[in-house]
């Protein structure tokens, strides 16, 4: 699966690590390009510690890192099947990002938000295709916490929550 992550803070890069660990091709975008560089350097250090502690092999570390690419603009997500936004908790900023994102991705691309405080229904209502929008709330730290809330909006297509739940289960994030 091709996955896009918007936001390269602690949550964004953690979600990217989870997806990449599970064999997904991941593109990470942040409005601040230096943040993406900082996050990927930090991820490499984290993975090196896991290798040192023999939690993962050096081969697995290489696989995870090779599955992650840097996106320099939202249109780099054009081939993504799932995008998860993990940016500042500001409805106007999120809405602006989602509105632009919809112009670059396919009609079938699932758009998710990691928000913990903004209504999924109100965010989704701003989209041209609100039925493809869903809350996918990871808990911090995303690579360690075995829990993700899957939150459909009132407008989310009825089978999407189950599809995302099953994906999170495959990623070992739902018990």
Cβ–Cβ < 8 Å for 7, 70: no
Q: Which of 7, 47, 94, 137 is catalytic?
A: 137
In DSSP notation, the chain reads -EEEEE--SHHHHHHHHHHHHTT-EEEEE-SSHHHHHHHHHHHHHHHHHHHHTTSS-HHHHHHHHHTEEE-SSGGGGTT-SEEEE---S-HHHHHHHHHHHHTTS-TT-EEEE--SSS-HHHHHTTSS-GGGEEEEEEPSSTTT---EEEEE-TTS-TTHHHHHHHHHHHTT---
The answer to whether 104 is a known catalytic residue is no
Q: Give the active site residues.
A: 137
């Amino acid at each position: 699966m091709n996955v896009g992550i918007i936001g390269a803070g602690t949550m964004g890069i953690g979600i990217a690590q989870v997806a990449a660990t599970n064999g997904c091709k991941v593109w990470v975008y942040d409005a601040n390009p230096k943040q993406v560089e900082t996050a990927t350097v930090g991820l490499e250090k984290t993975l090196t510690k896991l290798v040192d502690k023999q939690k993962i092999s050096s081969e697995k570390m290489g696989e995870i890192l090779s599955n992650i690419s840097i996106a320099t603009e939202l249109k780099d997500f054009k081939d993504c099947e799932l995008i998860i936004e993990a940016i500042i908790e500001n409805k106007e900023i999120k809405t602006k990002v989602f509105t632009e994102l919809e112009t670059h991705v396919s009609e079938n691309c699932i758009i998710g938000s990691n928000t913990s405080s903004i209504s999924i229904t109100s965010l989704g209502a701003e989209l041209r295709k609100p039925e493809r929008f869903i809350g996918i709330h990871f808990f911090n730290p995303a690579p360690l916490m075995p829990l993700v809330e899957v939150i459909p909006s009132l407008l989310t297509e009825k089978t999407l929550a189950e599809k995302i739940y099953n994906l999170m289960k495959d990623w070992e994030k739902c018990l």
